[in-house]
A and B are shown apart, each in its own frame.
Chain A
């Protein structure tokens, strides 16, 4: 997440240097007395950034380097130094723990690709459909945003009820009404659990894509479309050659944010499956790490896995930003 701030902060740095250079042209007398003010204004933000982001992160990294198990949890400082042992265990894919982590990682990648891809498609489709004013547009907008406005817990619990095998609404429709299958399928255990969690995650995420893209689409002037239709462009061509390039900056950020949120998603599996009954087919990585550290009191191992996850996300984010920036420069 922190990397998403990068472009803004670098822009802020540019602004700062700009103001410096303009100030430098003026007599130096007036600059000095006001110099403390920006620092004073920044100080609370820096202090809280340290307290809320940096210090916990450093503590997490420290925990990953010690053997913090139940024997030392009452007295952290006594935990023996483990060096990279926790990491070695986590990446050793020939052993049980590493194999479990790798498996969970692959499931999470598949989950993320599906959820982000489908959410983006739905969000884009809905935003384009609602781009031009028509009667009832406000109603649809509100309706589409409902999942985003609902409290997360309430929404997912409702899905949990609907996915129940014997009493759930989904099986009622599939089996009792439509007679598609004779045997009521399970949705929250076994292999269907993966499908269930993908559906719920999309339901939660796509209104956000819709909201962002809708805002992006509002900034495209109508005359560009009119000009292109005079030139004979069909709607799909308009979407590809006008809409997509014009919302590109929105898209770049949107996809990144959705990727990070989805990859790290803890709440959805936790509420949908309960705190202990995680089905192997939907073993998402955040929850896997939680199990690896909390249920067995092995915080060092859990922290090492978290740091690995952080590194992976940093690399992906960095690569993504490099790639998209280079492309925008070329264009």
Chain B
């Protein structure tokens, strides 16, 4: 008995010390990931391809080339969109993060306000090849105006109106150029008996919803923040813009009410690709998803999202992915080299194709081998895009207004009506939340 007890005690002690050691080792490797070894950089890439695996396949040869050129290893981690913001948040809070990270460029100003990211001042800009290599629209998304940006553009994206060529031809329609054409086309193409609708919307996704609240209100000349950075959500331009967008489902019945449950743009894209909807609004990286759902690339066309007659010709905001460097990196020189490499002409040329991204460099914007679709998107991006509010409270605008839109679509889908005054009071609540949280 005594020996058994002793054996047990020894085993228990050993187990304890092993778990203790494991905890220590994982702790130390965690910190060396982020900085310790100057020959390794940790890079968090966002999900741009059809899957996380696909991203790894696309990026690995590009990163290997960087290692060959500089001797710096890159530890790549591809992170899905659902997790990216939380992971960045945790990294900022704990100070334990990667060296270089991809961000959605709409977050740039909010993240800049945390002070956790390296500002690209003149010397840093010089180290990555100079400010002038970037086209002006993408560079303007890097941070608040008048401050050194904390992110530089990597991939450019813009919203376009995708339409099914066959369905338009069958109905004898041309792609719409004004809002009234769009809504009448959408109604004509709707055939609920056959489960076909004119439009599919990601009406349960707060990010998609807030983007279209913004674009529709911008067409009315609306704005969401005043010059002091205070929210002005409940203005009539904003209310009318949202009403116009909601009415696609509410009064024109051109959107399947089931779309109110789509919390991801890939679901509306799938509806489009499988012929259940004639039109969708999506960013240019939708191509891969459309084709993987079995729609050939010549079966759809893209035109700018039309504004109402007399409205401002705004069809998108300059969306895209930016690169940021964490301020506490111990290998700042290496991180800047990496940013320079990723935003170099040759790397951009390699990555823009698989990711269907728009060029962010001046030199690439005028390339001659562009497809018709890329040209359309570039026109939207460069001439018809208005930046989202470049204020630190932008993220709060997205979450409060986006969620209010989710609820409005849910109301419509479940049979209630959303009137102008309902929209106004929902926006007033969102505005109060934001101003109270900042006041």
| A275 CA / B414 CA spacing, docked (Å) | 21
From B82, B95, B437, name the one whose CB has the most chain A CB atoms within 10 angstroms: B437
Instruction: Determine which of A75, A100, A291, A297 lies in contact with B115 in the assembled complex, contact meaning CB atoms within 8 Å.
Output: A75
Contact pattern, A 187-211, Cβ under 8 Å of B = 1, otherwise 0: 0111110000000000000000000
Contact B114–A70 (Cβ < 8 Å) = yes
| A186 CA / B413 CA spacing, docked (Å) | 8
Contact pattern, B 108-127, Cβ under 8 Å of A = 1, otherwise 0: 00110111100000000000
Contact A70–B433 (Cβ < 8 Å) = no
Question: Within 8 Å of chain B (Cβ to Cβ): is A261?
Answer: no
Interface of chain A: mostly helix, strand, loop or mixed: loop
| A164 CA / B400 CA spacing, docked (Å) | 25
Instruction: Determine which of B110, B114, B261 lies in contact with A165 in the assembled complex, contact meaning CB atoms within 8 Å.
Output: B261
| A291 CA / B398 CA spacing, docked (Å) | 13
Residues of B within 8 A of A183 (CB): 415
Contact A186–B432 (Cβ < 8 Å) = no
Residues of A within 8 A of B86 (CB): 294
Contact A277–B395 (Cβ < 8 Å) = no
Least CB separation from A98: chain B residue: B436
Instruction: Determine which of A74, A186, A192, A279 lies in contact with B407 in the assembled complex, contact meaning CB atoms within 8 Å.
Output: A279
| A297 CA / B111 CA spacing, docked (Å) | 10
Contact A277–B206 (Cβ < 8 Å) = yes
Question: Within 8 Å of chain B (Cβ to Cβ): is A239?
Answer: no
Contact A189–B115 (Cβ < 8 Å) = no
| A276 CA / B406 CA spacing, docked (Å) | 10
Contact A96–B113 (Cβ < 8 Å) = no
Least CB separation from B206: chain A residue: A276
Question: Within 8 Å of chain A (Cβ to Cβ): is B429?
Answer: yes
Instruction: Determine which of B95, B206, B410 lies in contact with A279 in the assembled complex, contact meaning CB atoms within 8 Å.
Output: B410
Contact B399–A295 (Cβ < 8 Å) = yes
Question: Within 8 Å of chain B (Cβ to Cβ): is A301?
Answer: yes
Instruction: Determine which of B260, B432, B437 lies in contact with A301 in the assembled complex, contact meaning CB atoms within 8 Å.
Output: B437
Instruction: Determine which of B93, B115, B413, B437 lies in contact with A97 in the assembled complex, contact meaning CB atoms within 8 Å.
Output: B437
Contact B89–A294 (Cβ < 8 Å) = yes
Within 8 A of B (CB), among A242-262: none
**A70-B113, A74-B95, A166-B258 are known contacts. Are A96 and B414 too (CB-CB below 8 A)?**
no
Least CB separation from B411: chain A residue: A190
Residues of B within 8 A of A274 (CB): 263
Residues of A within 8 A of B432 (CB): 95-97
Residues of A within 8 A of B410 (CB): 186, 189-190, 279
Residues of A within 8 A of B204 (CB): 189, 277
| A295 CA / B437 CA spacing, docked (Å) | 12
Q: Which A-B residue pairs are the 6 nearest by beta carbons? A: A96-B432, A190-B414, A189-B410, A74-B116, A295-B399, A296-B396
Can you name 5 A-B residue pairings with CB atoms under 8 Å?
A73-B116, A74-B92, A276-B263, A279-B410, A294-B89
